[in-house]
């Protein structure tokens, strides 16, 4: 089996939420538990930090991985989804898992795994946990895929759990109120294991405190412990301030558990996070003159931060290249778009994409002036052709719009 054949099997033949949405979702952990048994329970063979939340969990995971790398620990990092290369999901000390390791895992386990009908995400969790155990990492930072309680990653017993914040996303699975969503994400809170909550929110703080009390889990709200500080980090989005606070308090709590992480290692970790871990798509500048910036923010909370930052960013004209997936409240998101922006609507190259015809209808209803394009590349090329050197082109609305850009850029 070649690497392209392996990827074709993983992407095309297995149910994959990233591509098809709800059809790939499983409402229990039974398959994951069976998977772990088949792999001799690798989740019990490495220490971990478990990171959940609506927004910021990817950035916080990368920040923590970078800090522990700088502190001298052999550090695994599992995140999702990937942007360009499947292997982005699984790293040790910033290095992606090898193509051969992916091939060998699929070849060795395919027949057994097919018997229990695993999803794409379950396969990747199994691969990551097996790899981290075999390579004897000192610690692994594990990002939740979606929710928490029923997420396939929720078979680990971490040193500490993190929940960044709660926003309205994936409501068809997690619930239609902040309290319901918080209860699902609170599933990562384990008995007698500390938990750090990134953002205090009126609708959810009581949920987290109640679950932590029931499970005898020491709970800390990062924004109640740490004053506003502008982070010394290579991440440029204004929203990263909250993620920096969350990561900082998490490191402090890990020190209290006996992990030796110096202040200098923490500072270097924050400063070097992009180089150390390969994080991309967070207020990332693709080029200058005209400036092209992309960001993976894709829900109301995340895009509100983005459009507020755009307001404070200097430019002559603003060009927005945006597309969405079809399970979002796109009308709500389009209401954030500045009326004076030059808008280029598009659709990412995945089955979950909102079709461009439907997006055109919603944009018309929102009284936006726009042009539409069948591909992200076509939309970006049109924006670059129209823009002058002092203009700003922003590309986003969906992780998968950014992915299509980065594959081409």
Check whether residue 51 and residue 155 sit in a common domain. Answer: yes
Domain endpoint, select from 277, 307, 339? 277
Percent of the chain with pLDDT over 70: 92
pLDDT above 60 for 20: no
Please say whether the beta carbons of 42 and 137 come within 8 A.
no
Please say whether the beta carbons of 18 and 108 come within 8 A.
no
Residue 79 to residue 151: CA distance in whole angstroms:
13
Q: Output the 3-class SS for the chain.
A: CCHHHHHHHHHHCCCCHHHHHHHHCCCCCHHHHHHHHHCCCHHHCCCEEEEECCCCHHHHHHHHHHHHHHCCCCEEEECCCCCCCHHHHEEECCEECCHHHHHHHHHHHHHHHHHCCCCHHHHHHHHHHHHHHHCCCCEEEEECCCCCCCCCCCCCCCCEEEECCCCCCCHHHHCCCHHHHHHHHHHHCCCCCCEEECCCCCCCHHHHHHHHHHCCCCEEEHHHHCCCCCCCCCCCCCCHHHHHHHHHHHHHHHHHCCCCCCHHHHHHHHHCHHHHHCCCCCCEEEECCCEEEECCCCCHHHHHHHHHHHHCCCCCCEEEEECCECCCCHHHHHCCCCCCCEEEECCCCCCCECCHHHHHHHHHHCCCCEEECCCHHHHHHHHHHHCCCCCEEEEECCHHHHHHHHHHC
Check whether residue 37 and residue 153 sit in a common domain. Answer: yes
Work out the average pLDDT over 364-380. Answer: 96
Work out the average pLDDT over 193-204. Answer: 95
Residue 216 to residue 210: CA distance in whole angstroms:
10
Check whether residue 219 and residue 301 sit in a common domain. Answer: no
Pairing of strands 90-92, 48-52: unpaired
Domain endpoint, select from 228, 250, 277? 277
Work out the average pLDDT over 317-323. Answer: 97
Q: How far apart are the first and last CA of the chain?
A: 29
Least confident of 17-21, 136-140, 257-261: 17-21
318 strand-pairing partners: 392
Q: What was the pLDDT predicted at 236?
A: 85
Check whether residue 172 and residue 246 sit in a common domain. Answer: yes
Q: What was the pLDDT predicted at 262?
A: 94
Check whether residue 58 and residue 21 sit in a common domain. Answer: yes
Check whether residue 342 and residue 384 sit in a common domain. Answer: yes
Check whether residue 314 and residue 241 sit in a common domain. Answer: no
pLDDT class for 328, splitting at 50, 70, 90?
A: confident
Work out the average pLDDT over 182-196. Answer: 96
Please say whether the beta carbons of 294 and 407 come within 8 A.
no
Show the domain range for 154. 3-277
Work out the average pLDDT over 254-267. Answer: 95
Edge-to-edge order in the sheet of strand 160-163: 95-96, 90-92, 75-78, 139-143, 48-52, 160-163, 195-197, 219-221
Check whether residue 166 and residue 312 sit in a common domain. Answer: no
Q: What was the pLDDT predicted at 233?
A: 76
Find, among 308, 205, 201, 194, the residue nearest to 253 by Cα: 194
- Write the pLDDT tens digit of every residue in 272-285: 999 999 999 999 99
Check whether residue 93 and residue 110 sit in a common domain. Answer: yes
Work out the average pLDDT over 335-359. Answer: 94
Q: How many domains does the chain have?
A: 2
Q: What was the pLDDT predicted at 119?
A: 87
The enclosing domain of 86 has a CATH number of: 3.40.1190.10
Check whether residue 265 and residue 336 sit in a common domain. Answer: no
Work out the average pLDDT over 333-337. Answer: 94
Tokens of residue 157, six digits: 């017993």
Check whether residue 48 and residue 159 sit in a common domain. Answer: yes
Measured between alpha carbons, how far is residue 118 from residues 10, 52, 211, 212 in Å? 11, 22, 30, 31
pLDDT above 70 for 7: yes
Q: What was the pLDDT predicted at 292?
A: 98
CA angle 247, 399, 207 (to 5 degrees): 45
Check whether residue 213 and residue 330 sit in a common domain. Answer: no
Average pLDDT over all residues of the chain: 92
- Write the pLDDT tens digit of every residue in 96-143: 999 999 999 999 999 999 999 888 899 999 999 999 999 999 999 999
Work out the average pLDDT over 357-371. Answer: 95
The enclosing domain of 398 has a CATH number of: 3.90.190.20
* Angle between helix 240-256 and helix 57-70 axes, rounded to 10 deg: 50
Q: What was the pLDDT predicted at 174?
A: 67
Domain endpoint, select from 277, 301, 334? 277
Specify the pTM. 0.94
């Amino acid at each position: 089996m070649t690497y392209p054949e392996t990827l074709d099997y993983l992407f095309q033949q297995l149910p994959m939420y990233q591509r098809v949405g709800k059809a790939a979702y499983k409402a229990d952990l039974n398959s994951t538990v069976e998977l772990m048994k088949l792999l001799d329970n690798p989740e019990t063979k490495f220490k971990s930090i478990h990171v959940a939340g609506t927004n910021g969990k990817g950035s916080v995971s990368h920040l923590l991985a970078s800090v522990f790398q700088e502190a001298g620990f052999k550090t695994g990092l599992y995140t999702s989804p990937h942007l360009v290369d499947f292997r982005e999901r699984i790293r040790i000390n910033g290095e992606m898992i090898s193509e051969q390791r992916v091939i060998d895992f699929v070849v060795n386990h395919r027949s057994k795994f097919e018997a229990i009908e695993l999803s794409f995400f379950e396969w990747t969790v199994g691969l990551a946990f097996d790899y981290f155990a075999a390579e004897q990492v000192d610690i692994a930072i594990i990002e939740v895929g979606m929710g928490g309680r029923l997420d396939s990653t929720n078979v680990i017993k971490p040193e500490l759990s993190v929940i960044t914040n709660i926003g309205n996303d994936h409501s068809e699975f997690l619930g239609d109120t902040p309290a319901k969503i918080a209860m699902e994400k609170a599933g990562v809170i384990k008995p007698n294991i500390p938990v750090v909550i990134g953002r205090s929110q009126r609708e959810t703080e009581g949920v987290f405190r109640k679950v932590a009390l029931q499970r005898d889990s020491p709970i800390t709200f990062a924004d109640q412990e740490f004053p506003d500080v502008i982070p010394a980090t290579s991440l440029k989005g204004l929203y990263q301030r909250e993620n920096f606070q969350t990561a900082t308090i998490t490191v402090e709590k890990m020190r209290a558990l006996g992990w030796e992480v110096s202040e200098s290692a923490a500072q270097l970790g924050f400063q070097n996070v992009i180089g150390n871990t390969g994080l991309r798509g967070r207020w990332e500048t693709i080029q200058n003159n005209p400036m092209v910036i992309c960001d993976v923010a894709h829900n109301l909370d995340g895009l509100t931060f983005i459009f507020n930052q755009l307001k404070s960013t200097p430019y002559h004209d603003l060009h927005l290249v945006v597309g969405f997936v079809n399970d979002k409240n796109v009308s709500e998101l389009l209401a954030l778009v500045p009326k004076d922006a030059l808008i280029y609507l598009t659709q990412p190259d995945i089955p979950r994409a909102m079709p461009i015809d439907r997006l055109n209808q919603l944009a018309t209803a929102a009284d936006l002036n726009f042009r539409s394009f069948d591909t992200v590349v076509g939309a970006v090329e049109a924006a670059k052709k129209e823009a002058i050197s002092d203009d700003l082109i922003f590309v986003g609305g969906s992780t998968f719009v950014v992915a299509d850009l980065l594959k081409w850029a």
